[in-house]
Amino acid sequence: MAKPLSAEVVLRLVARGEVSLDESMATHWVDPDLADEPRRDLLTPRIALSHRTGFPNWRDGTLRFERAPGEAFGYSGEGFEYMARFVEKKTGTPFETLAERLVFAPSGMTETAYTRRPWFEGRIAVPHDSDGTPLAPQIASRYIASDDVFSTPRDYARFLIGLVERQGIDAATAAERVRIQTDRRAELCAPPREATCPDEVGFGLGWESFLIEGRRYLMHTGMDEGTFTLGYVSPDAREGTVIFTNSRNGPQAVLPILDAIGRDPAFVDWLRTFAG
């Protein structure tokens, strides 16, 4: 669940007036693959954070547009990497350093990092495939803004508390975070889910955003080989949940855990409609 953390770095820069959500990223960063592509000028932090860059999830050798920026939703790790490069160029500061200064340190997140740290030794929850076979952990030597952050449930909960407390951010930017930027109602509420469809469903800035029975929820999930994670928070109710699993079978544990916790039944019922 690196993307919400990386999005928060950008939003806190926005709140400080150092970055604008709607400025062209081409003023500070253009991927070499797009040097002769005029549509690069349309890319903005808002478009990247709401998965509307037009990029694929990952490039196949060369970065190309699959559609025009801003045209439609398309989940893209490449979009987050592009945004991170832009932020580094504009601020003159490595992205991981910005994350530590603006998000991790203020929230007391002493056990979260994008890249290997000495305190990882002996503390990594080993991933497992669906048969229970241990797998080698994937530990990056260079940050990936869209993937592979290492953390603990306690640290990630501290991050969610920071969101609820509107840490390092102003009211206007906090409102932009939860506002639906990419409406996915038609896609996600097709039969048989139309009866339980939220009032709003789509992507905000870095998070999936739902409005259910008058209450706002932000959610993100993460999956790599042998791991599955989920986190959600309701800024309205000032509560949330973090679930980390080190198994490919992790998705099967989520609903039983949420049922055992017994909170947010309408939100949990919406998630239940996706259980196969």
pLDDT by residue for the chain (276 residues), tens only, comes to 999 999 999 999 999 999 999 999 999 999 999 999 999 999 999 999 999 999 999 999 999 999 999 999 999 999 999 999 999 999 999 999 999 999 999 999 999 999 999 999 999 999 999 999 999 998 989 999 999 899 999 999 999 999 999 999 999 999 999 999 999 999 999 988 888 899 999 999 999 999 999 999 999 999 999 999 999 999 999 999 999 999 999 999 999 999 999 999 999 999 999 886
- Per the CB < 8 A criterion, the answer to whether 6 and 222 are in contact is no
- Burial bucket for residue 10 (CB in 10 Å: 0-12, 13-18, 19+): buried
Q: What is the pLDDT of residue 118?
A: 94
Nearest to 39 by CA among 71, 76, 7: 71
How far is the C-alpha of 164 from the C-alpha of 240, rounded, in Å?
10
Give the CATH H-level superfamily of domain 153-272. Answer: DD-peptidase/beta-lactamase superfamily (3.40.710.10)
Its pTM stands at 0.96
How far is the C-alpha of 54 from the C-alpha of 42, rounded, in Å?
11
Q: What is the pLDDT of residue 144?
A: 95
Q: Which two tokens stand for residue 235?
A: 């800024």
- The segment(s) of the chain belonging to CATH 3.40.710.10 are 2-110, 153-272
Phi, psi (degrees; rounded to nearest 5) at 3: -60, -45
Q: What is the pLDDT of residue 148?
A: 86
Give the CATH H-level superfamily of domain 2-110. Answer: DD-peptidase/beta-lactamase superfamily (3.40.710.10)
How far is the C-alpha of 107 from the C-alpha of 167, rounded, in Å?
8
Task: List all residues 6 or more positions away from 255 whose beta carbon is below 8 Å from its beta carbon.
Answer: 268, 271, 272, 275
How far is the C-alpha of 189 from the C-alpha of 270, rounded, in Å?
10
